Amino acid sequence: MSGPNKKQYAMVILLLIAFILYNYNNFENPKPVFDPINIVVYCLIGSTFIIIWGAMMTVKYCPNCGARLPRVRLPKNNNEMLYGWTTCPNCKAEIDNKGQIVSRG
């Protein structure tokens, strides 16, 4: 599993630039950070960023059978909930967050 790629770093930089431009477009009278409109805009920007980040996530495959793993995990046991493991929908093998098989189904 690899870390963030160039597109993801670019999205973070663009989000920071948008945040700065939205708050400080008037240097003599900057907008307050905790204005109710700002909170709504921050929530919209944050949710858009999360949606785009999720769309750019790499696709992971099961090392046992080669089936595509779901992007959204629904934990079925404590190991999946606490350690970020997942279960292959095809062969039921438990896979840790590094992509290695922990137990075969």
pLDDT, tens digit (0-9, with 9 covering 90-100), for 32-83: 656 677 777 777 888 887 777 777 777 889 999 999 988 777 888 888 888 8
The pLDDT, as a whole number, for residue 5 is 72
- Looking at the chain, the whole-number percentage of residues with pLDDT higher than 70 is 78
Q: Does 1 score more than 60 pLDDT? A: no
The pLDDT, as a whole number, for residue 65 is 92
The pLDDT, as a whole number, for residue 62 is 92
The pLDDT, as a whole number, for residue 67 is 92
The pLDDT, as a whole number, for residue 63 is 92
- Output the CA–CA distances (angstroms, integers) from residue 101 to 58, 91, 98, in the order listed: 19, 11, 9
Cα distance between residue 14 and residue 21, in whole Å = 10
Residues whose CB falls within 8 Å of the CB of residue 49, separated by 6 or more in sequence, listed in order: 11, 15
Most trustworthy range by pLDDT among 12-16, 39-43, 84-88, 101-105: 84-88
This prediction has a pTM of 0.49
